[in-house]
Amino acid sequence: MEKIKITIVDDHLLFSQSLSFLIGSFKEFTVIGNYNNGKEFINSFSEEAETPDIVLLDVNMPIMDGHETIKWLKENNPGLKVLALSVNDDEDTIMKMITNGAKGYLLKDTHPNTFKEALLEVFNKGFYYSEMVSGFLINKLGNNENKITLKDREVEFIKLACSEKTYKEIADGMCLSPKTIDGYRENLFQKLEIKTRIGLVLYAIKHKIVCI
């Protein structure tokens, strides 16, 4: 089986090397690159370096930090899966990274088993939100609940978005065109101030639109 390729972007050499060793102990993964900051990593794209499946991105780095790096990736390589790493657990930092495209956010003292689970979730499902991150997302949605009025068709769309249906299947189920469904999605993302489908799921759970 081909291994999942990981790139580490972190300015702390000892941590980066230890992380590489840990990842190397997981049979599913291999580390293909280590960079000291976002600038070095971005420059690797012009050098035709091997593209990773997942990028482990430190938030606080010199020269080009995680915030600047993920904004660049969002504009230039939006399909790349980024998992943020930090010692910082404040809500503003976490929400900025998630809003700008991070598929998850882990603290550097995360247990190795949880870390491995996060890597697999990001690769297979496209995201990994810990209980802490999910709590922040639900809190953010809850702070805006008094401003939000949903139409019946928007509620219907949210319910279908909480299923395993693709957006095309949702369009078929609602007897609408895929373009119209794209419009529903983007309008709801803007209205709820979220960026991902998981945000819709969390909102639906929070407001009992769907039950789990």
Contacts of 81 (CB under 8 A, 6+ apart): 53, 54, 55, 103, 122, 123, 126
Which residue in 137, 152, 146 sits closest to 193, CA to CA?
A: 137
Find the length of the chain. Answer: 212
pLDDT tens digits for 72-91? 998 888 889 999 998 888 77
pLDDT value for 206: 79
pLDDT value for 169: 92
pLDDT tens digits for 91-105? 778 888 888 888 888
Q: Decide: 5 and 52 in contact? Cβ < 8 Å.
A: yes
Alpha helices by DSSP H, listed for 47-196, are: 66-76, 91-99, 112-125, 131-143, 152-161, 167-173, 178-192
**39 three-class SS:** helix
Kindly report the pTM of this predicted structure. 0.66
pLDDT, mean over the chain: 86
Which residue in 178, 208, 211, 184 sits closest to 197, CA to CA?
A: 184
